[in-house]
Chain A
Amino acid sequence: QLQLQESGPGLVKPSQTLSLTCTVSGGSITSPNSYWSWIRKSAGKGLEWIGRLDTGGGTNYSPSLRSLVTMSLDTSKNRFSLNLASVTAADTAVYYCAREGVDDFGDYYFESWGRGMLVTVSS
Chain B
Amino acid sequence: QSVLTQPPSVSGAPGQRVTISCTGTSSNIGAGYGVHWYQFLPGTAPKLLIYANSNRPSGVADRFSGSKSGTSASLTISGLQAGDEGDYFCQSYDSRLVNWVFGGGTMLTVL
> Hey, which bits of chain A sit against chain B, CB under 8 A?
4, 46-49, 62-64, 96, 98, 101, 103-105, 107-116
Contact = CB atoms under 8 A, between A and B. Distances in A.
Interface residues of B, number: 29
Contact of B52 (A47, A96, A107): A107
29 contacts: A4-B45, A46-B102, A47-B2, A47-B91, A47-B102, A47-B103, A48-B102, A49-B100, A62-B99, A63-B98, A63-B99, A96-B46, A98-B46, A101-B48, A103-B34, A103-B51, A103-B52, A105-B32, A105-B34, A107-B92, A107-B93, A108-B93, A109-B36, A109-B51, A109-B52, A110-B36, A110-B38, A110-B91, A113-B46
A103 B101 CA distance: 17
A104 B91 CA distance: 17
Contacts, number: 69
Task: Classify the secondary structure of A's interface with B.
Answer: strand
